[in-house]
Amino acid sequence: MDFTLTPEQTALYDSMRRLAREVIQPGAAERDRDGRWDPDVWKQTAAAGVAGMPIPEEYGGSGGSIIDCCLVNEALAEGGHDGGFGLSLGAHWVIGTVPIWLHGTEEQKRRWLPGLCDGSLIGSWASTEPEAGSDAAGIRSTARRDGDGWVLDGTKMFITNGPIADVCTVLAKAPEGPTAFIVPTSTPGFSVGRELDKMGCRSSPTAEVVLEGVRVGPEAVLGTVGEALWRVAFECFDWERTVMLASSVGGMRAGLDDAIRYAKERQQFGKPIAHFQAVAHKLADMEINYQVCRNAVYKAAWLKQEGHEHMLEASVAKALVGRLAVENALECVQIHGGYGYLKDFPAERGLRDAKLVGIGGGTTEIQKMIISRTILA
Ligand SMILES: Cc1cc2nc3c(=O)[nH]c(=O)nc-3n(C[C@H](O)[C@H](O)[C@H](O)COP(=O)(O)OP(=O)(O)OC[C@H]3O[C@@H](n4cnc5c(N)ncnc54)[C@H](O)[C@@H]3O)c2cc1C
């Protein structure tokens, strides 16, 4: 096995981390406090080519491999220290853009991908509903035929980028079964409901989306009518559990580096607290957790890149990061003592951001269900 990155990949990682330190990290605390999305941060980051990472260059993307995509997500999270930005970026390209690339007709790809890749358009994905979260097959939104087009009705919940998206891929139930529709958010009847006041990742806007008699033409159907759950939605979840998960690993690195820096600087009993074994061992445990998570994520991503079966590995990675990212974030707060409990340091924000890993894109319990079903089969 070869774990080395090419010189180009190392340079990509370094340049993305630098960009994030310069563009995303300043103001991250204020955006978190205010629950505010900053379009300027988006524009400057998108200008570096990250808004369409895996999309082929002929559609305006950067043509990156799966591992390249992971490296960019990880580096932006490590340097940016802003879980919300990583969430919005992921919702934009991982689940908002990739399905159009993989399942779109040539016409759909030409219409949507160039704008999504240069960041002038923001993408989103809407499958979750108030009554259908883990049970994605339980959606109640309907798609009714109307002439050669469709009428969509229903309510979607927890939609990342809902308030800022230009286009939303919506999952609704046609008579043949769940079907995906590419819906411009300016379509009459498409509206953003309540904006959700979250515990973490607060710089990323999340909202309810309401569909009231949304009329779309036949060209809005993404993929095959009735087959979107298995072919499109489950594939989205797979990208979330591999490529998007790399952001959380970058967040773990940022928290660990903060904790190391603080432990070396903070003096108690006449010496840096890093000299106390209890603190040093916490840092060692955090490094162990980080390395285990990073290896698990990249193993699943590499299997995906090489076209191998990887559902088990992706769920293992998701469950592992869901637990250990929170464990590390808690220890980061603990090492900062009372200051870790204040908003003056990024430690408490890191903890709130980390909690989402075990919930969004399939909860830890659902990952364990997939893992146990696989090993018991
Ligand atoms: C910040 C944020 C952003 C999101 N962004 C998006 C987005 O952009 N687009 C989108 O479509 N969705 C999005 N989601 C939705 C997310 O994917 C769901 O929240 C998640 O799948 C869980 O669904 P739920 O919240 O309805 O919880 P539920 O499914 O109601 O689960 C509640 C609890 O029951 C457990 N549980 C449920 N079923 C089982 C079972 N069979 N066995 C054992 N335990 C079970 C769960 O693990 C959980 O602990 C987002 C969510 C959040 C919080």
Domain 123-224 has CATH 3.30.70.260: no
The residue length of the chain stands at 377
DSSP 368: H
Which segments of the chain are extended strands (E)? Answer: 123-126, 142-146, 149-160, 167-174, 177-184, 190-195, 206-216, 221-222, 267-268, 271-272
Strand pairing category for 190-195 and 206-216 = antiparallel
Per-residue exposure over 219-236, b if at least 16 CB sit within 10 Å of its own CB, e if not: ebbbbebbebbebbbebb
Using alpha carbons, select from 318, 302, 298 the residue that is nearest to residue 370. Answer: 318
Q: Which residue among the candidates 208, 240, 313, 331 is catalytic per the annotation?
A: 240
pLDDT along the chain (377 residues), means of 10: 93 98 98 97 96 97 97 98 97 96 98 98 98 96 97 98 98 98 98 97 98 98 96 94 97 98 98 98 98 98 97 98 98 98 96 98 97 97
The alpha carbon of residue 266 and the mean position of all alpha carbons in its chain are separated, in whole angstroms, by 34
Decide: helix, strand or coil at residue 132. Answer: strand
Query: Cα(123) to centroid of ligand 1, in Å?
Result: 20
- Phi/psi of residue 309, each to 5°? -60, 135
Q: What is the dotted CATH code of the domain comprising 245-376?
A: 1.20.140.10
The CA–CA distances, whole Å, from 294 to 3, 179, 249 equal 12, 34, 6
**Tokens at 133, concatenated:** 């979260």
d(CA 170, CA 167) in angstroms, rounded, equals: 9
pLDDT confidence of residue 294: 98
d(CA 228, CA 223) in angstroms, rounded, equals: 7
For the CA of 95, the closest atom of ligand 1 is: 8
pLDDT confidence of residue 1: 81
- The residue whose C-alpha atom lies closest to atom 38 belonging to ligand 1 is 134
Domain ranges of the chain: 7-118, 123-224, 245-376
Mutate which of 140, 156, 158, 170 for ligand 1 pocket (most atoms within 8 A of beta carbon): 158
**Class of the CATH-defined domain 7-118:** mainly alpha
**Tokens at 298, concatenated:** 């990249």
User: Sign of dihedral through CA atoms 131, 136, 137, 143?
Assistant: positive
Query: Cα(368) to centroid of ligand 1, in Å?
Result: 14
d(CA 164, CA 123) in angstroms, rounded, equals: 9
**Tokens at 320, concatenated:** 């592992």
pLDDT confidence of residue 312: 98
d(CA 222, CA 181) in angstroms, rounded, equals: 5
pLDDT confidence of residue 2: 86
What residues does ligand 1 touch, defined as CB less than 6 Å away? 91, 125-128, 133-134, 158-160, 198, 201, 206, 356, 359-363, 365-366, 369
Q: Is 11 exposed, middle or buried (0-12, 13-18, 19+ CB in 10 A)?
A: exposed
Mutate which of 131, 159, 359, 372 for ligand 1 pocket (most atoms within 8 A of beta carbon): 359
Q: Which residue has the tokens 């309810």?
A: 208
